[in-house]
């Protein structure tokens, strides 16, 4: 145990090496509202590409529908990029205007 009465305790005369552990930046994946994509399609997207259960998928879809946008998950850059590409490709192939984007976390 360090002796608190000793002025040289507590690293005072030692080089303090605060280890700055760098975490990789994380990215929010956002789903945007539009007037044409069917609600069931959005729920299916949330279940299929984000592994979200049915009830929560319905909740998130309704949040986007009412508020215009919602965060559907937070991932590393590469995973977020893949999710966005998968959703955009599936929406395009299904001829729905659904938009999915990513944004760096603060
Ligand atoms: N607003 C759409 C509708 O009324 C439903 C919808 C929800 C579309 C979420 C996109 O990300 C979205 N059919």
Confidence of residue 7 (pLDDT cuts 50, 70, 90): very low
pTM (2 d.p.): 0.83
For 38-81, what is each residue's pLDDT tens digit? 999 999 999 999 999 999 999 999 999 999 999 999 999 999 99
Question: In this model, does residue 9 exceed pLDDT 80?
Answer: no
Question: What span, in angstroms and rounded, lies between the C-alpha atoms of 27 and 24?
Answer: 10
- Ligand 1 centre to CA of 73 (Å) is 18
Confidence of residue 37 (pLDDT cuts 50, 70, 90): very high
The residue whose CA is least distant from atom 4 of ligand 1 is 35
Tell me the average pLDDT across 5-9: 45
Atom of ligand 1 nearest to the CA of 70: 11
**For residue 16, what pLDDT is reported?**
66
41 CB neighbour count, 10 Å cutoff:
16
Task: Select from 101, 66, 55 the least CA-distant residue to 81.
Answer: 101
Atom of ligand 1 nearest to the CA of 98: 10
- Sign of the CA dihedral with 59 first, then 65, 66, and 68 last: positive
Q: Which structure tokens are listed for 3?
A: 């002796």
Confidence of residue 28 (pLDDT cuts 50, 70, 90): very high
The residue whose CA is least distant from atom 12 of ligand 1 is 33
Question: What span, in angstroms and rounded, lies between the C-alpha atoms of 55 and 43?
Answer: 9
**For a substitution probing ligand 1, which of 33, 41, 72 has the most ligand atoms within 8 Å of its CB?**
33
The answer to whether residues 98 and 36 touch, using CB atoms and an 8 Å cutoff, is no
């Amino acid at each position: 145990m360090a002796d608190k009465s000793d002025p040289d305790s507590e690293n005072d005369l030692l080089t303090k090496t605060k280890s700055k552990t760098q975490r990789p930046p994380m990215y929010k994946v956002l789903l945007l509202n539009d007037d044409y994509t069917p609600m069931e399609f959005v729920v299916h997207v949330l279940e299929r590409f984000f592994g979200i259960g049915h009830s929560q998928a319905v909740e998130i879809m309704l949040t986007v529908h009412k508020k215009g946008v919602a965060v559907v998950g937070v991932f590393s850059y590469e995973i977020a990029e893949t999710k966005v590409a998968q959703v955009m490709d599936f929406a395009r192939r299904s001829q729905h205007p659904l938009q999915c984007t990513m944004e760096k976390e603060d």
